[in-house]
Amino acid sequence: MTQKGIRLLRADEIECRVGMVNEKGLSLLLYKDARADMKILDETYGSTGWQRIHELIGGNLYCRVQIWDEEKRCWVSKMDVGTESYTEKEKGQASDSFKRACVSVGIGRELYTAPFLWVSAAHCAIQKKNDKYVSYDRFTVREISYNDNREITGIVIVNQDGMVVCQVKNKDDGKGKSFSLSQSQLKAMNKELERTGVTLDTVLQRYQVDSVEKMSKEVYSSAMNSLKKTKDKVV
C-alpha cells in the first residue's frame, strides 16, 4: 500500500475534558471525536477509500477500519475494541471502538504526547458536592504546535469566556527536557486512584509534592508501584 501522510489534528478538532479535580485546581485531558476521524479519513483516502465494520466478539463491540490498497487490490484493516458510555451503551461502544481503531490507523496519536495540563483554582470554578470536587467550566484548545516527531510542543487553552487558563509554549523537543507527566501517565494514575480509592492529596502528601506537575520521574514510578500493590477499594 502506498503510504499516505495522515495530518496532525488542528486545535479546533481537539476536545478538552476535565480529569481529576481538587481544591487546588483541575487537570485537563485531550481527546478527538469521531467527526474528526471521518474527516481526516476522507481527506487522506477519499470518501470511498475506507470503510468501518463493527462486530461483537466475546460480548464486546469491536470496530474494523479498512483502507483500500490500490496496489494489492485489497482492504487493509485496523481493529480495536470500545467501552460503553454512561448514557447510550451501544452507541457509546460503537463510537469509542471506531475512534480507537482510527488511532491504530494513525489519527490523533499525537495526543498521547500531551504534557500535563493543569488549571489552578484561581482560573476555574470548583465546587464540592458529596465530598467530591467538581467543575462545570468548559475548556477549548485555542492553539497547538508540534515538532518534526509529531509531538506536542506547545498548547494554549481557554475557558468558556475566552480567558487563557493553561498554556505550554516552546516545550523542548526531547533533548535534555525535564520530566513531566504525559496524558497517558496521568490516565494510568487516575485509574489506579479510582481503583484503590486513594486520594491524590494522600499521594502528594506522602511524597511531599505540591502538585502532580511537580512530580519527578522517580516519585511518579514509586507512587504507581505503591498504588498497584494496594487492594481494590471496598464498594
* pLDDT confidence of residue 234: 76
- One DSSP character per residue, 122-173 reads GGS--EEETTEEE----EEEEEEEE-TTS-EEEEEEEETTS-EEEEE-S---
Q: pLDDT digit string (tens) for 32-73?
A: 999 999 999 999 999 999 999 999 999 889 999 999 998 889
* pLDDT confidence of residue 1: 43
Domains of the chain (ranges, CATH numbers): 36-105 (3.30.160), 178-235 (no CATH)
* pLDDT confidence of residue 173: 46
Distances (CA, A) of 110 to 106, 119, 175: 9, 21, 18
Tell me if 159 sits within 8 A of 193, measured CB to CB. no
pTM: 0.71
Tell me if 47 sits within 8 A of 148, measured CB to CB. no
Q: pLDDT digit string (tens) for 100-156?
A: 999 999 999 999 999 889 999 999 999 999 889 999 999 999 999 999 999 999 999
Question: C-alpha grid cell for residue 146?
Answer: 508540534
Q: Rounded mean pLDDT of 12-20?
A: 95
- Choice between 27 and 170, residue whose per-residue pLDDT is larger: 27
* pLDDT confidence of residue 93: 84
Burial of 229: CB neighbours in 10 Å, binned 0-12, 13-18, 19+: exposed
